[in-house]
Structure formats: structure tokens, C-alpha cells
């Protein structure tokens, strides 16, 4: 069985995602993610991002022309990390790897999805 192009995330980045989600609660946190060697190692905060109590968006035209950008991450202000219809639209717009974290924003409250919204395993390294 071969690995996906993106198969892991650095623990430090996942902790940073959850910390940002806690700090922006009840608003959603949103960012893009950068990977190298199959491992997500950096968050990319985009100018023009908008966050509210029920959604978070960023203008895709502000994404850098950078093939190391592999997808998005955002938080949900409730206990569900399941993608909404809007999330699925974003997932299909760019990238192969998307993360949603939810309350209580810890190491067990996140989930990774592919561009079609199917759950995928992401190893924490």
C-alpha cells in the first residue's frame, strides 16, 4: 500500500492549530497549510481572511503560487469536525488535504479530509 502525497503533520503544527482555534473561539480560525516530504510543517495565514461565529473564509486569489501549499485548516465552534457543504466546496477548490478541528480543540478533536470530503488518516509526527 502506498502513502498519500501528504501523510503526516508535525505535532507542533497541530498544537498550534488547536491553540489558534481556542484563542479565536467562538469565531472560526482558518489558514492554508504547507508540506514538504509528505509532512505538514507550516501554516500560511492569508491576507483578507474573514472569520465569524459560523464560518471562516480566505480569498483563494491570495494563495501564494507555491506547490508546497497542500490544503486548508479551520476550526468549528461546536463539537463536530464534520465538513459542511461550504467546507466541501472549499476542499474541492484547491489542495488535497484539509483539516477541521472542533471543541475542545485538543489532540483528539481534529479530523483530516481529502478534496472530496472523505476522511483520511494523517500521522502525527
Banded pLDDT at 45 (limits 50, 70, 90)? confident
Q: Rounded mean pLDDT of 46-66?
A: 71
Question: Whole domain around residue 37: which residue ranges?
Answer: 8-51+65-124
Q: What is the pLDDT of residue 2?
A: 54
Q: What is the CATH number of the domain that holds 102?
A: 3.40.140.10
Domain contains 58: no
> Phi then psi for 60, rounded to 5 degrees?
-60, -25
Domain contains 2: no
Q: Do 48 and 58 contact (CB within 8 A), yes or no?
A: yes
> Domain tally for the chain?
1
- Poorest-pLDDT segment among 21-30, 40-49, 70-79: 40-49
Banded pLDDT at 51 (limits 50, 70, 90)? confident
Domain contains 90: yes
Banded pLDDT at 1 (limits 50, 70, 90)? very low
> CB atoms < 10 A from the CB of 68, how many?
13
Q: Which residues are catalytic?
A: 28
- Beta-carbon contacts of residue 114 (< 8 Å; ≥ 6 apart): 4, 91, 96, 97, 98, 120
Domain contains 23: yes
The Cα 23–Cα 28 span in angstroms is: 10
Global pTM?
0.91
Amino acid at each position: 500500500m502506498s502513502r498519500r502525497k501528504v501523510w503526516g503533520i508535525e505535532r507542533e503544527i497541530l498544537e498550534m492549530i488547536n491553540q489558534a482555534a481556542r484563542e479565536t473561539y467562538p469565531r472560526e480560525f482558518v489558514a492554508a497549510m504547507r508540506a514538504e516530504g509528505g509532512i505538514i510543517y507550516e501554516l500560511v495565514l492569508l491576507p483578507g481572511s474573514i472569520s465569524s461565529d459560523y464560518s471562516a473564509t480566505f480569498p483563494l486569489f491570495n494563495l501564494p503560487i507555491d506547490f508546497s501549499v497542500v490544503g486548508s485548516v479551520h476550526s468549528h465552534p461546536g463539537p463536530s469536525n464534520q465538513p459542511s457543504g461550504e467546507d466541501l466546496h472549499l476542499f474541492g477548490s484547491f489542495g488535497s488535504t484539509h483539516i477541521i478541528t472542533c471543541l475542545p480543540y485538543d489532540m483528539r478533536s481534529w479530523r483530516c479530509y481529502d478534496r472530496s470530503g472523505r476522511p483520511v488518516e494523517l500521522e502525527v509526527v
